[in-house]
Structure 1
Amino acid sequence: MSHQDPLPPLVWDSRRVQIQGFTTGLHQVEWLLVSLVALYLVIIGTPDEGGWGLVVATSAYFGFSLMASRLSFFGERQRWLLAIHTWVMIGFITWFLYRTNGVTGPMMSLYLLAVVTSALTLGVLATLLEVAAIAACTLLLFHLAGGSVMTPDNLTLFGTNIIAFLIVGYLTSALVNAIHVSNRMLLDMASLDSLTGLFNRRAFDDLVKPIHAMAQRSRRPYSVIVIDMDELKVINDSLGHGAGDQAILSLARQLQDCKRSSDLLARYGGDEFVMLLPDTDADGARTMMQRLIAVEKGDEPRISIGVASYPEHGDQFEHLLEYADSAMYHSKSSGGNRVSIRGHAKADG
């Protein structure tokens, strides 16, 4: 995976992503249905009664699918539009079976296209409702054909088909849910630091982009803060890396306790942490960090902090991060446990 590959949203609606990703596939399923119906009509022939009506209905259904694919029919969170497609699909298949007397034939399996489509995107409940609708349509077809579903052959056929639809729908929905869980776990692994549970460097860089873009549009400030522990090497050398990890965890908890809900916090690597404070200028960030280092820490290691702010210190996030990192090293070289602002103009111990 390239370092330029963007992370997916860290808070996302997996169902919405699934629907958006399946839009093209849905139209292909609909066109496959039309192709199977057209192939049947070519090989078997149109029925003597209502044949032209069936051709018109098939053309209209294809036109509906084609128009939807060209008009970007699906927007965000519009699951009901996909549900409409599946219900129209069920209606079209029922009309086709009615006109071809196919309720007892192999074309009953066309309903599987609607079941699988629903299971892939709409979930178990919607799929069960559609299977119930298919069962009702099947009973109606038996009635319109003048037969009885209660004969041994028809009852076996009806029960076998409905059970097959239920099994396919349930297993497909379960598979999709398992994929959603796996995607969530992979996303967490890709975006969270394994030791602290904070965002990692890649996730932080990805999340900063929309905040920076919004600040550029509104010309509102934000501050970048780099925090580094002063004595981690001493702890690792004297007490071991386990103690060093505990010191990093302790600092991570302190930073989480002091940040606001709108602030971003990440472990940027080793003992270095980075924060982004929206709607906060350099003085506001400095005051916030001064409160952090003023807290009595006991045996906890001291920290050095550097601050840079948009737009005061630069117009690009990458430059601000470099400036904040440089200010942090100024704090460290000045004795540590202090806050420095870009340009080394202000430093506090």
Structure 2
Amino acid sequence: MKAYTINKYGKTETLHLNDFPVPQVKDNEVLIEVHASGLNLLDAKIKSGEFKLILPYKLPLVLGHDVAGVVTKVGKNVKKFNLGDEVYSRPADFHIGTFAEFIAINEKEVALKPKKLTMEEAASIPLVALTAWQALVEKANLKKGQKVFIQAGSGGVGTIAIQLAKHLAATVATTASEKSFPLLKTLGADVLIDYKTQDFADILKDYDIVLNSQNTKTLEKSIRILKPGGKAVSISGPPTPEFAKEAGVPWFVKIILKLISSGIRKKAKKQNVDYTFLFMKAEGEQLSKITALVEAGTIKPIVDKVFSFDQANEALAYVESGRAKGKVVLKVK
């Protein structure tokens, strides 16, 4: 099979197309023929080496965290899936590799694809929807009537998080460029802030929850707009000692993460707000709940561009440019 690898870490490193054997299927795995693969900023960050302390991958590495395709083999202990099932998934860390023609994934990380979606639309959903779910439902416990600030509303996570927050009957504020406002209004955003001309810290106050996807400076400002007892969930760092313990990283990484997050943790404590770092997990059951929301029309995928498989480097460069509204997808088959 054909698959794209990175052979070394670096911002200028490109994806290399190589031949590999089709993966062997373990007892609890399904082999998926990849029809489409979603691209994420996480792929670019892994490529640059930004996450090598948290995710020490061996190189060369096949990238790719989102897949939609068809089950072509099942392991002997697989209960949920059959040959020919159309499925989608965000495979677990250290088992990624969706920029390929086939991938073997544990059935616990797989869900049936929403019937109403194309393969390309389905491939755009798993990572960002699971991120939004785990941030807003699990970590923040977002409730009806609460106010939530979702940064970068037109991005992959933002477009899904806005829809999920509206489904949970929250008031949603977001930042974007003014040209994205019409799209974000249709998704349910209530307060729209043009990040080019406005400062959200001058506009928002007494919010219950912030979903931070930007830099530390933005996170510090976000903490100040929260009411006492509010919650800041960050998907862009800095990672906390709690995360380090959960992730089982080596002792020296725990010390590094404790040091780099100490400033923001102190500021959060001073403001009497809760700070959490989220590194989303693969989870097939949650993805099945998201499938139900998609089938009900509550969540719809926002796909900016679909690239062909031979355009993988152009596709990843487009993701890195930060210009995409919603998701970028590779059409593999």
Q: TM-score, normalised by structure 1?
A: 0.20
The structure number with the bigger radius of gyration is 1
Structure having the larger proportion of residues in strand:
2
Question: Which has a greater percent of helix?
Answer: 1
TM-score (norm 2): 0.21
